[in-house]
Structure 1
Amino acid sequence: MMDVKPELCAKIVGRVRKPDDDTIFIQIEDQFWDATLNMEKFSHIIVLWWITEKDRTLDRMNLTGTPPKENAELSGVFATRSPRRPTPIGVSIVAIKRIVPESKKIIIDQIDAFDNTPIVDIKPYMPSSDRVDNAEVPSWFKDNKPRYTTY
């Protein structure tokens, strides 16, 4: 039987760092560096990060919103990418450019998080299970230009 906890607690395993316009990396906390073993064998990772800018009571109570697209309909936050949600977790798929063990850094191509944003988990991107070939989306998202990481 599972031990159900009434309140969850996420650990900060690292932080997004953007020291200048050309450099983006994830600074892994010392105690979690061993968790990166064999990460260099992957080209991409999935980064889960805490949306600190929207971690306010009012934002967490927000359950609906209209996506910033022409003709978009009012939708529940679980049907949007809104940062205003009950649990403000962001998800980004990024390319690994280089791993620097001496300084515990994962140099990445891009991420839509601010400098010093807490990272709560990292997973390897697996094309066999993390991709959907024929996904359906509402009409207001059909004209989105692909924003795939290209590194």
Structure 2
Amino acid sequence: MTARAGEEALGFDPGDRSFAGVAAIGRIRSAWRAGDCPRNLRQARERGGGHARLEIDAPYRPGLAGLAEGQWIWLLAWYGDRRRDLIVQAPAHAEGPRGTFALRSPVRPNPVALQLVRITTLDAETGRLEIDATDAFDGTPLLDIKPWLDTVDRPPGP
């Protein structure tokens, strides 16, 4: 991959230094493909959401108990096909390089994506949840779902 001015690589692949195994609980399904994907959830919503849905594997479906249509949930997804060694990036939308941890880029040492989405349809029996939007490619591995809790997730202050 061609580096942009100011970018800096680690000199090693963080994937070679992994210490924890993760298991996908299902997949994110969408209309998005490489070359035709919004850069973020705001753009995804502006483009109609991408026919976004989650397909939860059978063993994990009991974990959907307690979720409801209309509820906001956090998704953790694995963007493992992305570069992992870039620690300073030069995004096309920004002036100058920035540290990876100051960006929402999927290019990072641990390519875990975080999305806050709303459940629009829920069928726990089949493990299918329709969500308002995603900026993930079709087939992206889903690692976890967590509920948005206003008393926990809302930043403090006025």
**Both structures adopt the same fold (TM-score exceeding 0.5):** yes
Aligned to 1:98: 121
- Unaligned 5+ runs, structure 2: 1-17, 33-47
Q: CA contact under 8 A between 2:26 and 2:141: conserved in structure 1?
A: yes
Which residue of the other structure, out of 64, 78, 83, is the alignment partner of 1:36? 64
1:74 maps onto 2:97 in alignment: yes
Separation in 1, partners of 2:94, 2:143: 33
Aligned to 2:153: 130
Q: CA contact under 8 A between 2:65 and 2:124: conserved in structure 1?
A: no
Separation in 1, partners of 2:133, 2:112: 17
Q: CA contact under 8 A between 2:69 and 2:120: conserved in structure 1?
A: no
SS at match of 1:118: strand
Aligned to 1:107: 130
Counterpart residue type for residue 142 of structure 2: I
Q: How many residues align?
A: 124
Larger relative contact order (Cα-Cα within 8 Å, sequence gap ≥ 6): 2
With normalisation by structure 1, the TM-score equals 0.73
With normalisation by structure 2, the TM-score equals 0.70
Q: CA contact under 8 A between 1:42 and 1:125: conserved in structure 2?
A: no
Q: CA contact under 8 A between 1:13 and 1:29: conserved in structure 2?
A: yes
Matches within 5 A, 1:49-64: 49-54=77-82, 59-64=83-88
Q: Which runs of 4+ in 1 moved over 2 A?
A: 18-23, 66-71, 131-134
Which residue of the other structure, out of 19, 26, 30, is the alignment partner of 1:14? 26
Separation in 2, partners of 1:126, 1:52: 28
Which residue of the other structure, out of 106, 111, 116, is the alignment partner of 1:83? 106
The RMSD of aligned alpha carbons is: 2.3
Q: CA contact under 8 A between 1:25 and 1:106: conserved in structure 2?
A: yes
Aligned to 2:53: 25
SS at match of 2:139: coil
Q: CA contact under 8 A between 1:42 and 1:124: conserved in structure 2?
A: no
Separation in 1, partners of 2:91, 2:150: 28
